[in-house]
């Protein structure tokens, strides 16, 4: 079990950068957290703890979600499946379009997993919920089961949880 003190210290490493990538957006820079071995360890443990034993593989959403999902897969002893932006995978099996808080995008995923695989979906942030909802849709579209959704932090007040459904968050702001 991860201690509250260790998690509070890890949270203090996340910087807020106003007006990036566009005016009005408050960007959460997790680079200092990623550079801190203990901070990275406790946050990745916290991402997977509630789902222990309920998933077969972790899927990470591009781009910062890859980093967290890879670390979480190592902690959990599972593999990693990337969910990438359009055009990045050599043979995508499915694609889903979605709206961002500052534009639109498309994600793609391979279908290399055994039928019925249970996937823990991980991303860095829950804001408006578009990216995570698209991640859920693409996993289900390929016939896999979403065993859970876990994010590093949630930006409260943007309605993402209402759009995505049940989400485990390590931090909220």
Decide if 59 contacts 76 (C-beta within 8 A): no
Q: How many helices (H) and strands (E) does the chain have?
A: 6, 9
Q: Looking at 41, 49, 62, 101, which residue is catalytic? A: 101
Q: In angstroms, what CA-CA distances link 151 with 22, 35, 138? A: 22, 18, 17
- Phi-psi group of 115: left, alpha or beta (phi > 0 → left; psi -120 to 50 → alpha; rest → beta): beta
Q: Looking at 64, 84, 108, 136, which residue is catalytic? A: 64
CA dihedral 25, 164, 46, 108 (to 10 degrees): -80
Burial grade of 49 (CB within 10 A; 0-12, 13-18, 19 or more): middle
- 101 catalytic per annotation: yes
- 108 catalytic per annotation: no
Type and span of the H or E element at 83: strand 79-85
Catalytic residues: 64, 101
């Amino acid at each position: 079990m991860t201690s509250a003190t260790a998690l509070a210290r890890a949270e203090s490493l996340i910087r807020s950068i106003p007006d990036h990538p566009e005016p009005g957006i408050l960007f959460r820079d997790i680079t200092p957290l990623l550079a801190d071995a203990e901070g990275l360890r406790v946050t990745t443990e916290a991402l997977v703890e509630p789902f222990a034993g309920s998933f077969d593989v972790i899927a990470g959403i591009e781009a910062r979600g890859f980093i967290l999902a890879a670390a979480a897969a190592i902690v959990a002893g599972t593999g990693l499946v990337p969910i990438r932006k359009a055009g990045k995978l050599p043979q995508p099996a499915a694609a889903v379009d979605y709206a961002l808080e500052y534009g639109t995008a498309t994600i793609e995923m391979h279908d290399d997993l055994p039928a019925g695989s249970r996937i823990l979906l991980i991303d860095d942030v829950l804001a408006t919920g578009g990216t995570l909802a698209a991640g859920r849709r693409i996993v289900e579209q390929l016939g896999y089961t979403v065993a859970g959704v876990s994010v590093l932090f949630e930006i409260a007040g943007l309605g993402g949880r209402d759009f995505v459904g049940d989400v485990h968050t390590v931090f909220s702001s």
